[in-house]
Structure 1
Amino acid sequence: MSDGPAGHVARSTFRPYSETRRETSTRTYLRTSDGVRIDSVYDPARLVYESGRPPSRDPVFVIAHGFTGSVDRPHIRRIASEFTRYGAVVTFSFRGHGASGGRSTVGDREVLDLAAAVAWARGLGHTRVVTVGFSMGGSVVLRHAALHGDVDAVVSVSSPARWYYRGTAPMRRLHWLVLRPAGRLVGRYGLRTRIHHRDWDPVPLSPVEAAARIAPVPLLIVHGDSDGYFPLDHPRMLAEAAGDHGELWLEHGMGHAEHASGTELLRRIGDWAVSRAG
């Protein structure tokens, strides 16, 4: 049972924004619409606390990490720090990851976690929200935009286009991790990821179906041509489904997701988001 609405702040050090500045980060637990506690962090934009202007004038980036990630992973903190050049940043751990509650459903009910984070960002005064997802998180930002809306731009990095893909060795290992009891033990104790034992029922909307429903929200699809998880037919399928409102960047030499996203790419994404989310 849920004891609060999506985005409800269960524990917070947050004090409402004045019309001048806020210089400190905030950590809290949010409550999803199905009652899961989500560990979340808000980092103010550098330009807000340097200029003293209110948060509504700049976008907030809500970052959705990949499978086995969490809000405290160094690569997530690095990405958050980079995006504070362009706006405030909300990061969080998906259910079953890090200090969040619940168990991972590997991209299904995680859309509710993202919805809670977006609602929190709106509640802090931001009028423009950009969701940026990596790998599993890349599929979640697509589905969230299609099913929930309430975003001004979407960036999906290294996302699959379709479910149950086993065409690469890393994806075959991931399926073992998710589907086998021994694999879930490895996930729990080795990767700090608690994975739900039940199959999807029903199977959620696929990323490629979601991409077709996002219009007119601007969508950026980013994928590396050296991605070891998902070959290039995945981003091309997403871009084709997105049509005119989507943009595809195929990055030469890039691998998979957060670890492969360097400073130069993140800054180009930040520039794109600021120009599209207006």
Structure 2
Amino acid sequence: MGNGPAGHVARSTVRPNSETAGGAPFRTFLHTDDGVRIDFVYDPGPLVHDASRPPSGDLVFVVAHGFTGDADRPHVRRVVDVLTRYGAVVTFSFRGHGASGGRSTVGDREVLDLAAAVRRARGLGHARVVTVGFSMGGSVVLRHAALYRPDGPASPDARTDAVVSVSAPARWYYRGTAPMRKLHWMVTRPAGRAVGRYGFRTRIHHRGWDPVPMSPVQAVPLIAPTPLLIVHGDRDGYFPLDHPRTLAEASGEHAELWLEPGMGHAENAAGDELLARIGDWARARGG
């Protein structure tokens, strides 16, 4: 869940092209395969060269925020600040969030938003893409990697080279904690959706899922051989530890699991040291 006052990233007049990687930051809009306009921010980061590691100039992180977040939220910008030490960073606002169009489907059609952002990141000249998702975004990066496999029929330029899923649920419709019961009220009730719209800048679709999308635990066995890192805090108030353990078990021991002592939920709880370790992991495996 994202919360707190939104910050601001100035909208630039710079337009993306294959020569901007490693150049100036810019902001623009993308269009998804189903026609939704998505707010997109690109931070090139430094071109770091280290003889002991792959060069970072071709590496880009595509960050997928949590429900009620957006590309301008301070906790999302902090993630960017750390990851730009390791490569370029793309952030975007999921549909129904922030300056993006459409309405949130709470993890279903959002996979198209991520695919559009990954596709644009590759169009900027980055050969290695690592998707990093938090909470709802953590479930989206798992489904995206399963649907956009290197050997699959989906657009090859929308695939990822490594996946980091932080604080993600393993299964849909979970109501076992008080925060998740509140979230379900926000999503399913007219009064809750009004709170989402005016209190959190999140416009939520009134229709339920039909059909129900592939769950995260169904997605993880399909991700191999793409490297997968599952990160979860042992004080997560939304999803207890059976969620990450179920995801790791379903991966068939393909995934790496980090259970973080003292960590709560998603971007707000991910400290700079953890984000730096994620950056190191990605540089070693994202290509």
> TM over 0.5, yes or no?
yes
Provide the rounded CA distance (Å) in 2 between the counterparts of 1:268 and 1:56: 15
Q: Determine the structure 2 residue equivalent to 1:75.
A: 75
Q: Determine the structure 2 residue equivalent to 1:188.
A: 197
**Paired letter, 1:258:** E
**Residue 18 of structure 2 contacts residue 123 of structure 2 at CA under 8 Å; is this kept in 1?**
no
Provide the rounded CA distance (Å) in 2 between the counterparts of 1:91 and 1:15: 14
Provide the rounded CA distance (Å) in 2 between the counterparts of 1:236 and 1:68: 25
**Residue 26 of structure 1 contacts residue 42 of structure 1 at CA under 8 Å; is this kept in 2?**
yes
Instruction: Choose from 177, 181, 188 the match for 1:168.
Output: 177
**Residue 22 of structure 2 contacts residue 57 of structure 2 at CA under 8 Å; is this kept in 1?**
no
Q: Determine the structure 2 residue equivalent to 1:134.
A: 134
Classify 1:13/1:214 alpha carbon distance in 2 versus 1 (closer, same or farther; 3 Å). same
Provide the rounded CA distance (Å) in 2 between the counterparts of 1:187 and 1:197: 12
Q: Which consecutive residues of structure 2, in runs of 5 or more, have no partner in the other structure? A: 1-11, 50-54, 150-158
Q: Which consecutive residues of structure 1, in runs of 5 or more, have no partner in the other structure? A: 1-10, 50-54
1:96 and 2:105 correspond = no
Instruction: Choose from 142, 158, 180 the match for 2:167.
Output: 158
Q: Determine the structure 1 residue equivalent to 2:244.
A: 235
- Structure 1 outlier segments of 4+, above 4 Å: none
* TM-score, L = length of structure 1: 0.91
Q: How far does residue 14 in structure 1 lie from its aligned partner after superposition? A: 2.4
Provide the rounded CA distance (Å) in 2 between the counterparts of 1:141 and 1:30: 18
Provide the rounded CA distance (Å) in 1 between the counterparts of 2:148 and 2:240: 28
1:117 and 2:117 correspond = yes
1:16 and 2:22 correspond = no
Q: Determine the structure 1 residue equivalent to 2:147.
A: 147
Classify 1:47/1:241 alpha carbon distance in 2 versus 1 (closer, same or farther; 3 Å). same
**Residue 56 of structure 1 contacts residue 127 of structure 1 at CA under 8 Å; is this kept in 2?**
no
Q: Determine the structure 1 residue equivalent to 2:4.
A: none
Q: How far does residue 15 in structure 1 lie from its aligned partner after superposition? A: 5.2
1:275 and 2:276 correspond = no
**Residue 39 of structure 1 contacts residue 93 of structure 1 at CA under 8 Å; is this kept in 2?**
yes
Q: How far does residue 28 in structure 1 lie from its aligned partner after superposition? A: 0.4
**Residue 56 of structure 1 contacts residue 126 of structure 1 at CA under 8 Å; is this kept in 2?**
no
**Residue 58 of structure 1 contacts residue 86 of structure 1 at CA under 8 Å; is this kept in 2?**
no
Provide the rounded CA distance (Å) in 1 between the counterparts of 2:261 and 2:168: 16
Provide the rounded CA distance (Å) in 2 between the counterparts of 1:222 and 1:56: 23
- Residue range with higher mean Cα deviation, 241-250 or 215-224: 241-250
Q: How far does residue 24 in structure 1 lie from its aligned partner after superposition? A: 1.7
Which residues in structure 2 correspond to 1:215-254 (within 5 Å)? 215-254=224-263
Q: Determine the structure 2 residue equivalent to 1:198.
A: 207
Alpha-carbon displacement from aligned partner over 1:5-45 (angstroms, at most 9, x marks no partner): xxxxxx962253549x7442110000000000000100002
Q: Determine the structure 2 residue equivalent to 1:44.
A: 44
**Paired letter, 2:111:** V
- Residue range with higher mean Cα deviation, 55-64 or 107-116: 55-64
Q: Report the aligned-residue RMSD.
A: 1.7
Which residues in structure 2 correspond to 1:48-63 (within 5 Å)? 57-63=57-63
User: How many pairs does the alignment contain?
Assistant: 262
Q: How far does residue 265 in structure 1 lie from its aligned partner after superposition? A: 0.1
